[in-house]
Chains A and B, each alone.
Chain A
Amino acid sequence: MIGIYVQEERFDAGVMQAPLHALGGGAVASFTGIARADHGEGGDVIAIELEHYPAMTVAALEILARQAEQRWGLLGSVIIHRTGRIAVGEEIVMVAAAAAHRAAALEACAFLIDRLKTDAPFWKKEIYAGGSSAWVTAKDTDTARADKWD
């Protein structure tokens, strides 16, 4: 079972991963990414704006989910990513994996979020309290983390 969701609306991480509980395995792991209360060059971040490539996004996430399923023998996985304006403190993304045992579920989760950050067509812009904004630039550390799954 693979569930892929790309949406503007908020989501409840517990509700979204609940279907993974019923697949017969003994482990469900998840990661939820939150819009952080950062302080950037333009001041305090109050929100982020997420742009994506609608014709490609779901397919790119599905590829990641299938890779994780094969590599760790998952029973199921869920990836949900929001787009549009996301206020600080709100959820941006959740990845979750169900497996027979915890090691596979935990590793698959780390793989999904590390690879999502380098392989899925999303772009973040920080919105500052003063009204200005700036695109977030990709970090070499994210590329290094994603590459270690090669």
Chain B
Amino acid sequence: MQIIYFASVRETVGRDGDEYDLPDGIQSIDDCLTWLSAQSSAHAAAFANPEKLRFALDQQMAKSNASLKDARELAIFPPVTGG
């Protein structure tokens, strides 16, 4: 799965995105965050407060308990601040 980061999340992780073959058993965005946090200390720092994060699955806003089923791109970012 393609995982991309924006704004402060991108800066904390230290790159724009990652591509991972997620292990079986990673079913929701929440599961994915837990798994990603184990990949590096930078990932762990970026996802330390999941309630402060927002998500999109294949370019549509999604809740953290959403299923990753069939999604190709997961975006992780802080609450938006446009306008």
Question: What is A's interface to B at a CB cutoff of 8 Å?
Answer: 33, 50-53, 55-56, 59-60, 81, 92-93, 113, 116-125, 135-138
Contacts and interface: CB of A to CB of B under 8 A. Distances in A.
A137 B52 CA distance: 10
A48 to B, nearest CB: 10
B79 A50 contact: no
A135 B83 contact: no
Band of interface residues on B: 10 to 19
Contacts of B8: 123, 135
27 contacts: A33-B83, A50-B82, A53-B56, A56-B59, A60-B61, A81-B82, A81-B83, A93-B82, A116-B82, A116-B83, A117-B83, A119-B80, A120-B80, A121-B75, A121-B77, A122-B80, A122-B83, A123-B7, A123-B82, A125-B7, A135-B7, A135-B8, A135-B81, A136-B81, A137-B79, A137-B81, A138-B79
B75 A53 contact: yes
A123 B83 contact: no
Contacts of A138: 78-81
Interface of B: 4, 6-8, 56, 59-61, 73, 75, 77-83
Contacts of B79: 118, 137-138
Nearest to A136: B81
B76 to A, nearest CB: 11
